[in-house]
Amino acid sequence: GWCPLSPTGAQTTQLLVEPPWRLVVLWDRVTLTCQGSGTVGATTWYRDGQRWGQEGSDHFTVTESGTYRCERPDTGHSPLVTISKDPVVLQVPARALLEGDMVTLRCQG
């Protein structure tokens, strides 16, 4: 499922991450989708703090590690998401977890 990086229902721009892991790694073929108010196709993307070449597109598959965010005309900037290229990572689901929850951990390397 999708992982929204903003509270559901908030009037903010959201950056959705697929697959939905807390630590996102490049080799997962990560897709970022920007959601917010305003004209469809009016998304501005930033990578490592600089405007970045996916202008206008609301989603894309990441091919480079870095820190990403998007901007929508009426709701502003999304939270940041970092795409890692670390050689070994421990991933947990990107959702709120409570003590006693069953959870799947994934170690990749």
pLDDT of residue 93: 72
Higher pLDDT, 8 or 101: 101
Asked whether residue 5 carries a pLDDT value surpassing 90, the answer given is: no
Looking at the structure of the chain, the number of domains it has is 1
pLDDT of residue 27: 82
Q: What is the CATH number of the domain that holds 26?
A: 2.60.40.10
In a domain, 18, yes or no: yes
Distance in angstroms (rounded) separating the CA atoms of residues 95 and 107: 18
| Domain extent at residue 38 | 14-108
In a domain, 9, yes or no: no
Q: What's the pTM? A: 0.74
Look at residues 103, 12, 83, 44 and name the one whose alpha carbon lies nearest to residue 4. 12
In a domain, 38, yes or no: yes
In a domain, 2, yes or no: no
In a domain, 5, yes or no: no
Distance in angstroms (rounded) separating the CA atoms of residues 109 and 75: 37
Mean pLDDT of the chain: 82
Asked whether residue 7 carries a pLDDT value surpassing 80, the answer given is: no
Mean pLDDT confidence for 102-109 = 79
